[in-house]
Chains A and B, each alone.
Chain A
Amino acid sequence: MSASAARIDAPPVSGEAVYELTSVHKTYARNQVIALEDVSITLRKGSFSSVIGSSGCGKSTLLKIMAGLIPPTRGRVVLRNKPVTGPRRDIGMMFQQATLFPWRTTIENIVLPIEIRDGRAAAEKAKEKARELLEIVGLKGFEDVFPNELSGGMAQRASICRMLITEPAVLLLDEPFSALDELSRDTMNMELQRICNEQHATAFLVTHSIQEAVILSDQVFVMKPRPGRLAEIVDIDLPRPRTLDMMTTPKFGELVDYIRSLLDKGEDL
């Protein structure tokens, strides 16, 4: 199961299970494609997990099932002991694009999930919390700025706030920084780690970048395509907090190489 070595910092992976998927299958009836076959995943409280795999390995399907956007064909999907039967406020999601709405100011964008679920008055009250979140992500003073005036990285920071405003139990991150340039991407990844730590968040990241998966995660789920299935779970036993310098250590290189070799095997199929 694991890529060797003793864990220095065990807690995250041994915490209480927050999100549990058991033998999840997904077949798209329309074209008889098996998108997911027997996928079982457990996310523990405060852990950071990533899923990696070539395109067509069912990552997006998995994420949509976990977000409650589509039902699985078979299997159990349980978040905090309650089956996921649709979108829930304790699921936070973030996309590749910041998806801020240009007619709303930054803070109005952030309280949008509250406005949708609890109405305008509640959204107004939530602005207090939104200000605190903006400060955490380093966007203090940008409350009343329209998204057009934010840079790509700033917009993604704002969308992190929007995800956190409902205090979700799990954060689903769909390649959140892949639209940014590499420098901002590294910075944002470290920011993400810091924010997840401060919020004791349980995070689940979909990514194409092995480096990104390794530097951020406690465990990496490696998926293979046709049919989409879990090939291996790789424990990442780098110490926390992670720094960008760690990307130059032999240990990091080993883990990256190991995951790459797993992915390459998938190519033959």
Chain B
Amino acid sequence: MTDVSASDRGQAEEDTVWVEEVPLLDRIPRGILMTFVFVVFVALWQLATSLDLVSSIVLPTPLETFNDMIFVGKNLLTGQYMLPALWITTKEVIYGFALAMFLGFSLGILVGETAFGERAIMPYLVALDTMPKVAFAPLFVAWLGFGIESKVALAAFIATFPIVVGTAAGLHAADENSRMLFKTMGASRVQTLIKMKLPMALPQVFTGLKIGAVGVMAGAITAEFLGGGKGFGELIRVAASQLNTPRVFSLILYLSLLGLALYALVTFAQRKIVFWQRDSVGARFDG
């Protein structure tokens, strides 16, 4: 074939071999890129504080925060007063998550599997879900007191909805062929649910669980802010009221470790249970 434009381009390009060029950014390992972002972030933070762009009461220096993290870390490791506080918050999160899973699966199956649930109950769940759930915190405190119960309740209340939605959506994910196959095998409704629909729903169930795992932390801490108690949220509230911002920062960072641990636990469970799901970017980040 003759190509006029090609011959126009002349001699120089004739022995050029056309190979794929990997963009520079794609060739750098992810760890290095992440470290780079971290260093830039800390540098900007340091700059903002040392140039006095913001008051040190509002924003502590990176070094102050780091020192306080060491202090809090020592406190936790040596089992001083912060450790029981962390333990209380951890319990709230675990109980809240367990309760949310129980409610989420039950309601999710009710809504996803029965026509009654889908038509009569789902609208109420959607209505509840659109409400600012944190606003229920004072109610839970009034009903359940200042102890751990009111925190567990709010944590579970927030985390239940994504699990319901994930379970219900997952139950609808079964394809036409699988349904037909189970029908031709004469499977009962319960058999179809247990042997086909639920396993097929698992990837979406885990998406709901991951969103729930994030929500459960927010719920526990918010309830502690609003309803007292002796948890980590209370430590943050006290530190903030004393204008001890480095302490607030370091407590938040430790708290985020708890959230991260819960998220990692869910991801680990997903890898083990939904072993057939491809380990793709989607699976890692959103299920």
Q: Evaluate contact between A93 and B184: CB separation under 8 angstroms.
A: yes
Residues on the A chain within 8 Å of B275, using CB = 103
Q: Does B180 contact A (CB under 8 A)?
A: yes
Contact-residue size bin, chain A (C-beta under 8 Å from the other chain): 20 to 34
B177 and A116 within 8 A (CB)? no
Binding-face segment, A71-79, A81-89, A252-260: A81-89
Residues of the B chain whose Cβ atoms lie less than 8 Å from the Cβ of A115: 195
- Contacts A103-B276, A146-B276; A69 near B180 (Cβ below 8 A): yes
Partner of A116, one of B186, B200, B276: B186
Query: Which residue of chain B has the shortest Cβ distance to A89 in the bound complex?
Result: B186
A95 on the B face (CB < 8 A): yes
Binding site secondary structure of chain B = helix
Give the distance in Å from the alpha carbon of A113 to the alpha carbon of B181 in the complex.
9
Given contacts A101-B196, A103-B199, whether A87 and B185 have CB atoms under 8 Å apart is: yes
Instruction: Please provide the chain B residues from 152 to 201 with a CB less than 8 Å away from any CB of chain A in the complex.
Output: 175, 177-178, 180-187, 191, 195-196, 199-200
- Which of A102, A112, A148 is in CB contact (< 8 Å) with B185? A112
Chain A residues within an 8 Å CB radius of B175: 97, 99
Interface size class of B (residues with CB under 8 A): 10 to 19
Residues 43 to 72 of chain B near chain A (Cβ within 8 Å): none
A117 within 8 A of B: yes
- Do the beta carbons of B199 and A88 come within 8 Å of each other? no
> Complex formed: what's the CA distance from A97 to B191 in Å?
21
| Residue contact B276 to A95, C-beta cutoff 8 Å | no
A121 smallest CB distance to B (angstroms): 15
- Where the two chains meet, the residues of A that have a C-beta atom closer than 8 Å to any C-beta of B are 67-69, 86-89, 91, 93, 95-97, 99, 101-103, 112-113, 115-117, 146, 148
B positions within 8 Å CB-CB of A: 175, 177-178, 180-187, 191, 195-196, 199-200, 275-276
What are 24 A-B pairs with beta-carbon distances under 8 A? Answer: A67-B184, A68-B184, A87-B184, A87-B185, A88-B186, A93-B184, A95-B177, A96-B177, A97-B177, A99-B175, A99-B177, A99-B178, A101-B178, A101-B199, A102-B276, A103-B199, A103-B276, A112-B185, A113-B185, A115-B195, A116-B182, A116-B185, A117-B185, A117-B186
